[in-house]
Structure 1
């Protein structure tokens, strides 16, 4: 069994369950789908696979109707994976108002590899944040790094999760007292996995090893909790860094977004 096959099987078996959404406020089951509601008015649709699920177009319409019925939900993400067999899914999603985003690489591999050759750059301080002001500053900085407008609801959702103590860690990199990089660590309960999410570095500070150092810090924290494998949905900015640290691309994922 190749590394890619082994890691993809572990990803499907261990992560495409309730373990994928530990911070959910509620989960409803619709056939093979899990309809998840998060804090901040965010809906999320995921599943183990759609093989033999019948009328996919009807499944999409029924799933969206579930979220439309909740006025607090302002947006829904349907998370697709490139290795799934789901004929007609793209067409059904688009017909129901979902807009496909950019595909990302699903990266999986040993956490230990992320800790090697990742020194903290001179003048940079790494730390976790939990205070209200720090979390809001981190969220605003990440929005800037991704070229998006500041989303205060995202910060509210992060603070709500910290209050629930679901295991999430928020890490930032600072230089000269300014936050310039950030990322989340999501240990997955009941599995050997930890997720690396939200990696962001301000454009003028890229190429200095800050992202790599933040990744290593999160990996070390996950290993201290007994985790052995990392998983991450990576853009083309972060994929090469993770590949050099031993993670491999096992598939792709494309988010489809619906906005009320």
Structure 2
């Protein structure tokens, strides 16, 4: 794999030509910006900005237009800024406009079919596909225990997707004696080469036993079976070394800039 080619393909298929990721959502291109707007519990934000590298005032105007759009809808939103986006000082301009940066993540990609298969689970642990409200509650429980954050919004998004378009999302929970101890989901992007791995989390006490690797392997197999060549992750610092050992390639970094209404 060649990183520049993959980065360009990622930008084209998942950002510039992005499709709505849930019911009630719409993706539109306004000037040099591609954004998604949906219900309050959906992901709302800017996916792509092809802003002129030398037009600072134009960038400021584009930022102001997005703020006005989402404020009019009463929605908080996120501007996903990638390290190679222009102008080079776009992050500073977002900050000056009132958007606050969250933790940066590393965009990593691997060929789905090339990843290890059959990564063993710890003794007594089984994987179960999430198909109903009970499974979604277990995913939410794992996320809240693993990350210490309110994950009710994730639960609503996942329920929406499972009800409206189950072929574009898959989720799995790892159970130990019936207790959910790890969970993850995968977004399948129809018509693209990519599937996105999201939300891999393991509760304290079960970390370091290979559950994260097993969930990556499980989802990569499904992605390959459904015709997606690559799997992509926005990786936190804790996940990056594991993914690198599995064979993932680093493409760039991304930082969410958040505007709260």
Supply the RMSD in Å over aligned alpha carbons: 1.9
Aligned to 1:68: 71
Q: Does the CA-based 8 Å contact 2:53-2:87 persist in structure 1? A: no
TM-score scaled by length of structure 2: 0.90
Contact 1:57 1:92 in 2 (8 A): yes
In structure 1, how many angstroms separate the alpha carbons of the residues matched to 2:28 and 2:189? Answer: 20
Q: Does structure 1 residue 170 correspond to structure 2 residue 171?
A: yes
How many equivalent residue pairs?
A: 256
SS at match of 1:205: coil
Distance 2:11 2:105 in 1: 17
Corresponding residue of 2:5 = 6
* Residue aligned with 1:83, SS: coil
| Alignment pair present for 1:57 and 2:65 | no
Q: Which runs of 5+ in 2 are unaligned?
A: none
| 2:161 is the alignment partner of 1:158 | no
Q: Structure 1 stretch 158-167 or stretch 48-57: which is displaced more?
A: 48-57
Q: Distance in 2 between matches of 1:109 and 1:232?
A: 9
Displacement of 1:37 after TM fit? 1.8
Whether 1:233 aligns to 2:239 is no
Cross-structure match for 1:45: 46
Match of 2:17 in 1: 18
Structure 1 residue ranges without an equivalent (≥5): none
The Cα offsets for residues 169-225 of structure 1, whole Å up to 9 and x where unpaired, read as: 111111111111111111111112111111111122110000110111111111110
8 Å contact from structure 2 (residues 22, 42) kept in 1: no
Q: State the Cα deviation string for residues 116-164 of structure 1 (Å, max 9, x = none).
A: 462222211112112112202311321221121x232321121111111
Does the aligned pair in 1 maintain the 2:101–2:255 contact within 8 Å?
yes
State which drifts further: 165-174 or 84-93. 84-93
Is the CA contact 2:16–2:48 (under 8 Å) kept in the aligned structure 1? yes
1:243 Cα offset (Å) = 1.0
Mapped to 1, the partners of 2:260 and 2:7 lie a distance apart of 31
Please say which of residues 96-105 and 109-118 is displaced more in the overlay. Answer: 109-118
Contact 1:19 1:190 in 2 (8 A): no
Task: Name the CA distance, whole Å, in 2 between partners of 1:146 and 1:153.
Answer: 14
For residues 1-260 of structure 1, the aligned pairs below 5 Å read: 3-19=2-18, 21-23=20-22, 25-39=25-39, 40=41, 42-47=43-48, 49-51=50-52, 54=55, 55-71=58-74, 73=75, 75-116=76-117, 118-148=119-149, 150-165=150-165, 167-260=168-261
Do the aligned residues in 1 keep the contact of 2:138 with 2:173 (CA within 8 Å)? no
